[in-house]
Structure 1
Amino acid sequence: MAMSESAGSAEAPLGVEEAVQEVVIPAGVAGPEPLALDVRCFAVAQPAGIVIIDTGMPDAEAGIAAAVQALGGTFDDVRDIILTHLHQDHVGSLFAVAERAPLAAIYAGGPDVPDIQAPRRITPIGEGTFIQDLGILSTPGHTAGHVCLFHEPTGTLFLGDTASSDHGEVCRPPEMFTADAARAEESLERIAALGAARILFAHGAELASPAQAFDRLLGGSHPSS
C-alpha cells in the first residue's frame, strides 16, 4: 500500500460517527488506583455500505446503532465490521452487532483471529488490504495482530490502541496491556510519520493538532503536517 508521508486532504471530510462508552477499570488491574477511560467505536460511511470499526465493551450495541443511524443507515446497511485487535473492549459487542448486521463481513488482523470468538467467520487482514476505501496498516505490538485503518484521500487515521489521547496529549497504552513494547513503539513511530490530518482514537477525544501532539510524545522524530 502506498502511503504518503504527509496526508492532508482537500476533499470533503469522511463521514464518521462515534459511539462512546465510559468504563472504570478497578484498582489493582491497571495500577493502584481505579482507571476511568472512554471506549470509542466508529461507524464510517463508505461507497458500498457502512463500516463499523470495533464493537466496544458488552452493551455497546445501542450506541453503535445510534452512530449508524446518524449516518442515515440501519444495521442492514452495514457491510463490514473491522476489529483493530482482540481485546475485550474492542470485541465485546461483536456477537450482538454481527447478528443485527447479517450482511456484514468481519475482519481482524491475522495473528489475532484465532483468539476472537465470533458468530461467523472472521477474515484475516494485514498490511496492504483494503476494506472499501480504508487501507489496513499492520501495527503490531499492543497485540500481535493489531491494525490501524487509514483513509488516505482525507488523511483520516483510525488508531485503535496504538496510542490514546488525554487532556490534549497523545499517550502510549498501559504497559500491562501491551504484548510487545518494542514492536508497539515501532508501530507508534510509523503511525506518527504518516502526518495524518485527522486521528481518531479508541480511547480519548480527537485532537485539533495531532501531529504536534505526536511530536511532543516522540521528541520531534517525525514530520509535522
Structure 2
Amino acid sequence: MPVQEIVREIVIPAGVAGPDPMVMDVRCYAVAQPGGIVVIDTGMPDAESGIAEAVEALGGSFGDVRDIILTHLHMDHVGSLFAIAEQAPMAAIYAGGPDSPDIRAPRRVQGLGEGDYVQDLQIFATPGHTPGHVSVFHEGSGTLFIGDAAVSAEGGVERSPEAFTSDAARAEESLERIAALEPERMLFAHGAEIASPVQSLARLLGGPYGS
C-alpha cells in the first residue's frame, strides 16, 4: 500500500508537558486507496504544503483526495483541516464519534466507530488519549496508523505523555488491544517507524505512566 509521510517539528513550551521545553515531530500521512487518496490527520496549521507534496508523490492532486480521517481532535492533528478540506472539496471528513462534534471544519465531520471502514481502511476505537481517539488499520499490509495511542522514541514504543492523555486507564486498555492486533507496521503521529513494534509494545505494557 503506497504511503507518504509528512513530518514537521514543533516546540512545546516549558511547563506544558514537563519542566523543560520539548521538541517533537508531528506526522501525518497520505495513503493511496482504490477509490482515491486518503489523508490521515492534517498536522499543524502549516502542514498544507507538505501534504500537497505527499499527495503529488502518490500521483495525484487535492482533487483526488476522497477522504480525510482525523485520529483525534488535538490541534497538531487538525491544524490544517480547513486548508486541506477547502482544496479537496470531494473529500469526506471523519473522526471518532465522541471527538467529531468538537472539531471545527468547513463541512460536517462524520463520526466513526469500531469496525467502520473508510475504503480499505478499518477503524479501531482506541480511546484514552481523547474520548474519541481512533486508529486506522490496513489489513492487507498489516499497517496500523496509531495516531497518539502511543509514540516512538529511541527505537521503541512509549506511552503518549500523561499531560495530554484524558484517561490513562482507557489509554492502557487501547494499547493492550493494539498489541493483540499484532500489526506488522505501526506508523506514529509522533516518532519514526520502528522495527518489531509489537514486541516493543509488549515490553512497555505493565509499566506505569511516568516510568
With the shorter chain as reference, the TM-score category is over 0.9
Supply the AA of the counterpart residue of 1:56: G
State, as a whole percentage, how many aligned pairs show the same letter.
72
CA RMSD across the alignment: 1.0
Query: Which shifted more, 206-215 or 89-98?
Result: 206-215
Q: Paired residue for 1:3?
A: none
Question: Residue 176 of structure 2 corresponds to which residue in structure 1?
Answer: 189
Deviation at residue 219 of structure 1 after TM alignment: 5.6
Alpha-carbon distance in 1 for matches of 2:151, 2:39: 19
Q: How many aligned positions are there?
A: 207
- Verify: 1:102 aligned to 2:89, yes or no: yes
**Aligned residue for 1:169?**
156
**Unpaired segments ≥5 residues, structure 1:** 1-13, 221-225
Q: Secondary structure at the match of 1:72?
A: coil
Give the secondary structure class of the aligned counterpart of 1:58: coil
Aligned partner of residue 211 in structure 1, secondary structure: helix
Q: Which has the higher contact order (CA 8 A, sep 6+)?
A: 1
Q: Does 1:47 align with 2:25?
A: no
**What corresponds to 1:30 in structure 2?**
17
Q: How far apart in 2 are the matches of 1:210 and 1:128?
A: 23
TM-score, normalised on structure 1?
0.90
Distance (whole Å) between structure 1 residues aligned to residue 18 and residue 118 of structure 2: 37
Corresponding residue for 1:66? Answer: 53
Q: Residue by residue, what CA displacement relative to the aligned partner does 1:92-113 show, whole Å, maximum 9, x if unpaired? A: 0000000010100000001001
The two structures have a TM-score, normalised by structure 2, of: 0.96
Residues 1:78 and 2:43 aligned together: no
The ranges of structure 1 where at least 4 consecutive aligned residues each deviate by more than 2 angstroms after the TM superposition are none
| Offset at residue 215 of structure 1 (A) | 2.0
Give the aligned residue type for 2:85.
A
Q: For the residues of structure 2 that align with 1:160 and 1:215, how far apart are their CA atoms?
A: 18
- SS in structure 1 at match of 2:98: helix
Where does the alignment leave 5 or more consecutive residues of structure 2 unmatched? none
2:107 alignment partner, one of 114, 117, 120: 120
- Which whole-Å deviations, capped at 9, do the CAs of 1:8-61 have from their partners, x for residues lacking one? xxxxxx110011000010111110000110000000000000000000011100
Aligned ranges 1:133-212 → 2 under 5 Å: 133-212=120-199
- Rounded to whole Å, the distance in 2 between the matches of 1:208 and 1:76 is 34
CA distance in 1, matches of 2:165, 2:112: 20
Moved more, 90-99 or 207-216: 207-216
Q: Distance in 1 between matches of 2:9 and 2:33?
A: 27
